[in-house]
Homo-oligomer: A and B are copies of this chain.
Amino acid sequence: MPVGTLANVKTLTPDQLKATGAQMVLSNTYHLHLQPGEAIVKAGGGLHRFMGWDGPMLTDSGGFQVFSLSEMRTITEEGVTFKSPRNGDVIEMTPERSIAIQNDLGADVIMAFDECPPYPATRSAVELATARTYRWLKRCIVAHQRSDQALFGIVQGGTYLDLRAQAAADLRELDLPGYAIGGVSVGEPPELIEQIVKATTPQLPEDKPRYLMGVGTYREMAQAIASGIDLFDCVIPTRLGRHGAALVRGERWNLKNACFQHDHTPLDATCDCYTCTHFTRAYLRHLIKAQELLAYTLLSIHNITELVRFTTAIRQAILDDRFAQDFAHWLTPADASRSES
């Protein structure tokens, strides 16, 4: 899922986004609550209609953002109180509030409000957060009002695999329509992410969607899919685009590099995206160097297309029983001598 934080995937129209092959979009409850506020989105017909995206959509609960972006936060059993970074207002976010906001936003999949511990964190801190996340999940289930929205639970547990296992077991009992692994990609080394995903995913039901939150490099996705993950969200393709970088057949290219100045070939001659079929590397480099916003649009189009193609190819390889063989390069641990893509 490309990330549409503030009810848009940055620099892309819904038509451009659809043409990338992306099927589902994520939006952020935390950001949309702060602006424009869920009342406006609801009055505008819900998030799909408001932002003009008629495909599947997921909202996160705001948990991750409350813990990672807010200052002056206070955590109690009831919920979290924090100061709005936008206008300084004191805001209280609780499981009930998060679900009410997500009910108003109206995405197809909504997420339970969780406590996401930082990395590193002591075992006792993570134990507390994981247990609280479970109690909050049960309050979310009670608060959830719309049968047309699927509520997913989130497995926390930090880097402690036994806490992850316990959380997964607790969640399974609740028979939810989908399950997520949260609290990864919060600063821990790649091999730890891999370890957590490898150990935790098989403990979640195979017949339900399993969603790894906030992850999206080639390698992370391939390895997570090998463990059974079905769904990802990540800002990487669009954020890289806004930094002048392109994902090209497994590599990350900085298009500001002088080697592209006179390169009048497509970014990727094998790619059928709008950018690759209409423009050259020299043109993209020119736009980036000139700080023309169109560069970000064109690179985001390509980067999303590239990652959608990557996961689509994995899906086909699984169906053809060629996954381990064809994607062996990505299923080995990251080589520190290579740039991480």
Q: Using a CB–CB distance below 8 Å, which chain A residues touch chain B? A: 6-8, 10-16, 35-36, 40, 43-45, 50-52, 261-262, 264, 274, 278-280, 282-283, 285-287, 289-290, 292-294, 296-298
Report A30 CB to chain B, min CB distance, Å.
13
B11 touches A286 (CB 8 A): no
From B36, B282, B287, give the contact of A282 (CB < 8 A).
Answer: B36
Q: Is the CB of A282 within 8 A of B40?
A: yes
A14's closest neighbor in chain B, by CB?
Answer: B278
Complex Cα–Cα for A10 and B278 (A): 17
Counted per complex, copies of this chain come to 2
Cα A261 to Cα B16 with chains together (Å) = 26
Cβ contact within 8 Å between B8 and A289: no
* Nearest Cβ on chain B to A22's Cβ, whole angstroms: 15
Q: Are A7 and B50 in contact (CB under 8 A)?
A: no
Check B296–A6 contact: CB distance below 8 A.
Answer: no
When chains A and B are docked, how far (Å) is the Cα of A15 from the Cα of B293?
A: 16
Q: Would you call A40 and B261 a contact (CB within 8 A)?
A: yes
- A39 and chain B: residue at smallest CB distance: B262
B residues within 8 A CB of A264?
Answer: 43-45
> In the bound complex, do residue B7 and residue A51 qualify as a contact, i.e. CB atoms below 8 Å apart?
no
- Smallest Cβ-Cβ distance to A40: which chain B residue: B282
Task: Give the complex CA separation of A289 and B87 in angstroms.
Answer: 13
Query: Given A40-B262, A44-B283, A297–B13 Cβ distance below 8 Å?
Result: yes
Besides A36-B289, A52-B278, 4 new A-B residue pairs in contact (Cβ under 8 A), listed by A number: A11-B293, A11-B297, A13-B278, A40-B261
Q: Which residues of B contact A283 (CB under 8 A)?
A: 7, 44, 50-52
Instruction: Give the CA-CA distance A292 to B51 in the complex, in Å.
Output: 12
| Beta-carbon contact of B280 and A50 below 8 Å | yes
Which B-chain residue is minimally distant from A7 (CB atoms)?
A: B286
Contact of A36 among B12, B15, B261, B293 (CB under 8 A): B261
B10–A292 CB distance below 8 A: yes
- Asked if A294 and B15 make an inter-chain contact with CB atoms under 8 angstroms apart, the answer reads no
